[in-house]
Structure 1
Amino acid sequence: MAPRSASLYRMVMDKHVCPWGLKARWLLRREGYRVDDHWLRTREQTDAFKAEHGVETTPQTFIDGLRIGGYDDLRRWLGKPVKDPEATSYRPVIALFGMAAAMALALGWLIEGAPWQVGTLGRFIALAMCLLAVQKLQDVDGFATMFLGYDLLARRWVPYAYLFPFLEALAGVLMLAQAGTWLAAPVAIFIGGIGSVSVFYAVYVQKREIKCACVGGGSRVPLGFVSLTEDLMMVAMGLWMALA
């Protein structure tokens, strides 16, 4: 049986190749379509195409003379899932904690000759704190704005929302180096303790459904178990260092 054909119109210019057009072409070919790949090489040509077909974006796919639409429209037409940009997701947290765990195991193997040793859990917590701090430090103002939505101390003293990522990073680095316990332990206990109370109050007392600032201001991670776990880990690590 001959493969079905599809016509794809996408921008391919000297300084810009539309990534959605490449994804649409790859998807069509993966689904067994023969693609008539039409390149829109200039802005004028692209604008003329949009005006002719009454569309606002490219790429545009046509199958059997029917205009399917852009990349997301093509996915829907083929019965593929389309990502909802507003949907909550735990994927950023899973990726971050997964990488922290892999790094902790690798360091255990390098330092102690085996991936799992007594210090592995401590390294995992310290690395997770560092990685979480990096996410926040990419956009401190965005993080602070989201953090102010639920943190009890930040609501009373706004600068704390801006200091939090730096304090978390400081504690994480010192814990990883096993140095400066006199500073790292109280910082971790303090920010983790305030955070735990704030999250518990917002989620389990007030029953609010809001986004967590734990992986930065633009995250779609719901506030709750993940953020509470982050804060409790900091408290536990701080206490362990202080009592060790």
Structure 2
Amino acid sequence: MTTNPQQTHEPNEPANDKPATLYRMVMDKHTCPYGIKSKDLLEREGFVVEDIHLVTHEETEAFRAEHHVKTTPQTWIDGERIGGYDDLRAFFGRSVKAEDETTYRPVIAIFSVAAAMALATSWFAFGELVTLRVLEWFIAISMCFLAVQKLQDVESFSTMFLNYDLLAQRWVPYGYIYPYAEAVAGVLMISGSLVWISSPIALFIGGIGVISIIKAVYIEKRELKCACVGGSSNVPLGFVSLTESVMMVVMGTWMALKTMIA
């Protein structure tokens, strides 16, 4: 098999006691991103990389057949095959995410950015970071972000939603309507207008969500994934999911009371 070695060091550079050989796909119309990551990781770990490019599909298939591997890139260190990018991370003692591993990272990211945006908006509008509107904007912006996650693939969301939502289980179209309703309520709450529309929506979908999650998680003790950040979510159904629904109920109630008092 013909290879195209692309070494990362000059020919006259002194030999390094930490050499590694990396085979990765580098074609005219495709460069494997995991190959780039593998090369970067090796170099950050102090290795001098013999970077060998597989420049055609035929060459790649021949390499896989010769070494009995299914994927590229592949790394060798001290003559021992380490494997692909995830194998390389594990070799260096770095975390490797399991395929079905649950995580709260998407929700934490959404809530963190929403909080930052709410504070920034308050600073711009009032010249102060902490105002009453910060909490309102935080919840409303979070609702919009969460709605966008669902709207990326409504079909997938509605399928996961059916695992626990009581209304969707009885009336399937509700699973398709929910993301749009959440988005409309969130946008209107940011503006503070048409409360007679946004408040009932938030109270309705939030209230059903609270009851559904309490029943599934805390009464039936089921271990499910939450559709709150979309149908491909690995967020476990539980306290964080309940928080989303509770926030909508609180926001819907507050906006209604605020309007009546005014």
The equivalent position to 2:149 in structure 1, one of 123, 127, 135, is 135
Aligned structure 1 segments of 4 or more residues deviating by more than 4 angstroms: none
Kindly state the Cα deviation for residue 3 of structure 1 after the two structures are TM-superposed: 3.1
- Distance, in Å, in 1 between the alignment partners of 2:16 and 2:176 is 61
Aligned to 1:213: 227
Kindly state the Cα deviation for residue 58 of structure 1 after the two structures are TM-superposed: 0.7
Is the 8 Å Cα contact of residues 205 and 245 (structure 2) preserved in structure 1?
yes
Aligned to 1:192: 206
- What is the one-letter code of the residue matched to 2:234? R
The equivalent position to 2:48 in structure 1, one of 22, 34, 42, is 34
Residues 153-200 of structure 1: CA deviation (Å, up to 9, x unaligned): 111100001100011001101111111111111111011001100000
Is the 8 Å Cα contact of residues 3 and 32 (structure 1) preserved in structure 2?
no
| Cα RMSD, aligned residues only | 1.0
DSSP 3-state at the match of 1:62: strand
Percent identity, please.
61
The equivalent position to 1:52 in structure 2, one of 63, 66, 69, is 66
Kindly state the Cα deviation for residue 48 of structure 1 after the two structures are TM-superposed: 1.3
Aligned to 1:181: 195
Superposition pairs of residues 163-182 of structure 1, within 5 angstroms: 163-182=177-196
Kindly state the Cα deviation for residue 66 of structure 1 after the two structures are TM-superposed: 1.4
Residues 137-156 of structure 1: CA deviation (Å, up to 9, x unaligned): 00001110011110011111
- TM-score if structure 1 supplies the norm length? 0.98
The equivalent position to 2:175 in structure 1, one of 161, 166, 169, is 161
Is the 8 Å Cα contact of residues 60 and 70 (structure 1) preserved in structure 2?
yes
Q: Count how many residue pairs are aligned between Structure 1 and Structure 2.
A: 244
- What is the one-letter code of the residue matched to 2:156? G
- What is the one-letter code of the residue matched to 2:217? V
- Distance, in Å, in 1 between the alignment partners of 2:176 and 2:151 is 9
Kindly state the Cα deviation for residue 135 of structure 1 after the two structures are TM-superposed: 0.4
Aligned to 2:7: none
Is the 8 Å Cα contact of residues 16 and 48 (structure 2) preserved in structure 1?
no
- Distance, in Å, in 2 between the alignment partners of 1:24 and 1:182 is 55
Aligned to 2:8: none
- Distance, in Å, in 2 between the alignment partners of 1:122 and 1:13 is 51
- Distance, in Å, in 2 between the alignment partners of 1:2 and 1:56 is 30
The equivalent position to 1:6 in structure 2, one of 20, 37, 40, is 20
- Distance, in Å, in 2 between the alignment partners of 1:77 and 1:45 is 27
DSSP 3-state at the match of 1:186: helix
| Unaligned stretches of 5+ residues in structure 2 | 1-14
Residues 197-224 of structure 1: CA deviation (Å, up to 9, x unaligned): 0000111110111000111111111111
Aligned to 1:240: 254
| Unaligned stretches of 5+ residues in structure 1 | none
